[in-house]
Amino acid sequence: MATVTEEAVQPDASLASPERVAAFKADLVAFLGEKLYSPEQPWDIAVFEGYGRGLVATRDIAVNELIFLDRPILVGPRVNNYDVIFCASCCRIQKRLTLCSGGCRLPICADCDRSAAPETPHTAECTVITSWQPKDQKRYCKTILYALTSIRAMLLNDLESRIVFNMEGHAPRKDMITEIDRLLKDQIFANLPEGSANLTFLRRIVNVLNTNAFETFRIVQDEENNDHEIILRGLYILGALMNHHCLANVRYVFDENQVMWCHASRPIRKGEQIFNNYSKVLWGTQHRIIHLWFSKHFLCECERCRDVTELGTYLGALKCVRERCPNGRLVSLNPLKIASAWQCDKCGLQMGNLKVTKIQEIAGRMVLNNAIKRDEAGILEYLNDHVSRFLLPCNQFTVELKLQAIRKIQGEACLEHLVEKERFCREILTILEQLKYGECFVKGVLAYELFKVRMTIAQRRDEQGCFPDEPALDNLRTAWTILQHSGNRPRDLDQLAQCYGCNV
Ligand SMILES: C[S@@+](CC[C@H](N)C(=O)[O-])C[C@H]1O[C@@H](n2cnc3c(N)ncnc32)[C@H](O)[C@@H]1O
């Protein structure tokens, strides 16, 4: 169990000193072990001006080459509502809520319950939680579930906790209530006083998690053998060492065992920094900048963020509001300044940032909170009748809705919808090409969907003789290359790739 001392949990400004970096790397290599680390790996830890530590390529890395494998040092529930009840320990779906008999107020399955064996994987965390004397022990407590990932850090061994406390951890913004604040505010425990070493430890862990954790998942089956994906948060140290760039040069997936597979999405030259994208690939610049500022505490100034045309994609651009300017696109005069005015690229109309933000907010609400929940016909109708009147076809919200349509239009859909789906897949793949985004995860998903929809259209039109042609096989190869290690890849991908010889 980790030693909880005040010194151990203090954030440290010297994380990037050469001695600290060398010691940190030695710890990390020991943690990864021979299975995940080989001395031939093409990365090293380096310090970059303005970024802190990061990963650097130690030789040229080819596109699609494996850069590293990583495993979570810490994993557990995210701090967000779940729509199913699952065992807090093994994540198996629980039909009926059964609380742990140990009194920790968490839902636990019969196999993980403290009474199931002298030691279950849940015993140690239950002991920590109950040592703080939970009040109201007969009731489920969501707040404890949300804090569980941080609480698990108390069980790390010395090597692991040294690694974790060598990670950067930004303090929360003043208006943010963390899962640990919530434990105190709701007076969940009788014996976890403000000012205690345990609380300082938990607060520091929350900062490390918020700065570094990834969204990962576990696939579990219910009693009817249906698969469910339980979204979790995982601290992957090697993964977290990658700094951000809006034109990342890697992609990653998590396999069934929660191992992270990180591949090059573009060629990387020796000496270049290995970058991940912390934001969404298909978001416009203003959204990415705000998201990075509020969640990761830095201002991105990469070439994609600096270009008003967003590399010709106009993902964040808005439709000009003048009726006599049907093709005008409003773009920011200075994308790096959130308060900058916007201007139409055709008629020169200027608009203040507050008004632009309002329009984006309304568009976002209409699309993300409302239209996206419709069925496939509803989404297509909304795209054709409403969205086209107030948003550009290239706008990020239009693109998001098209992605949702792609997900919802499946094999049994009518031919007209399938043809629309094919068009959307091609449109979004073209945007990725404009961004020169390489062999990224979204490309893999779209390539798979495009292959499938073309196959279904060929069947419906009785054109199987012409399918699959070379472009379709290319799509399947791309999908297989990108998604093959993902634990939640489409269930028929392996079979399709094998059947058409694309899994080599
Ligand atoms: C997941 S950590 C990355 C590793 C970190 N540099 C370190 O030394 O531990 C994320 C933090 O790194 C820094 N960072 C990452 N990408 C950056 C970028 N593009 N510009 C400036 N800072 C960046 C920010 O402080 C951010 O909150």
Report residue 422: phi and psi, to 5°: -60, -45
How far apart are the C-alpha atoms of 444 and 436, rounded to whole Å? Answer: 15
Q: Is 239 in the pocket of ligand 1 (CB under 6 A)?
A: no
Can you give the pLDDT of all 504 residues of the chain as single tens digits?
A: 555 554 544 556 688 899 999 999 999 999 999 999 999 999 999 999 999 999 999 999 999 999 999 999 999 999 999 989 999 999 999 888 899 999 999 999 999 999 998 899 999 999 999 999 999 999 999 999 999 999 999 999 999 999 999 999 999 999 999 999 999 999 999 999 999 999 999 999 999 999 999 999 999 988 788 889 999 999 999 999 999 999 999 999 999 999 999 999 999 999 999 999 999 999 999 999 999 999 999 999 999 999 999 999 999 999 999 999 999 999 999 999 989 999 999 999 999 999 999 999 999 999 998 899 999 999 999 999 999 889 999 999 999 999 999 999 999 999 999 999 999 999 999 999 999 999 999 999 999 999 999 999 999 999 888 899 999 999 999 999 999 999 999 999 999 999 999 987
DSSP 419-459: HHHHHHHHHHHHHHHHTT--S-HHHHHHHHHHHHHHHHHHH
Residue whose pair of structure tokens reads 């979570």 in the numeric block: 72
The rounded Cα 149 to chain-centroid distance in angstroms is: 17
Question: Do residues 8 and 165 make contact, with C-beta atoms less than 8 angstroms apart?
Answer: yes
Q: Is the CB of 50 under 6 A from ligand 1?
A: yes
Per the structure block, which two tokens stand in for 457? 């259209």
* Pocket lining: 198 vs ligand 1, CB cutoff 6 Å: no
Model pTM score: 0.95
Q: Which of 51, 249, 250, 275 is the pocket-test mutation for ligand 1 (most atoms within 8 Å of CB)?
A: 51
Structure tokens at 263: 């591949």
The set of long-range contacts for 199-205, using a CB threshold of 8 Å and a minimum separation of 24, is 200/6, 200/9, 201/2, 201/4, 201/8, 201/9, 201/153, 201/154, 202/147, 202/150, 202/151, 202/153, 202/154, 203/178, 204/9, 204/10, 204/11, 204/165, 204/169, 205/150, 205/153, 205/164, 205/169
Q: For ligand 1, what atom is nearest to the CA of residue 170?
A: 27
Helices and strands (H, E) in the chain, number of each type: 18, 14
Ligand 1 centroid to Cα of residue 202, in Å, is 21
Alpha carbon of residue 493 to chain centroid: 22
| Structural domains of the chain ordered from first start | 18-73+236-273 (2.170.270.10), 76-234 (no CATH)
| DSSP classification of residue 171 | P
Task: State the ipTM, two decimals.
Answer: 1.00
Q: Please give the distance, rounded to the nearest whole angstrom, from the Cα atom of residue 270 to the centre of ligand 1.
A: 21
Tell whether ligand 1 has an atom less than 6 A from the beta carbon of residue 319: no
The residue whose CB lies within 8 Å of the most ligand 1 atoms, and thus the one to mutate among 24, 244, 274, is 244
- Is the distance from the beta carbon of residue 241 to the nearest atom of ligand 1 less than 6 Å? yes
- Take residue 326 and report the two structure tokens written for it: 């049907």
Count other Cβ atoms within 10 Å, centred on residue 116: 15
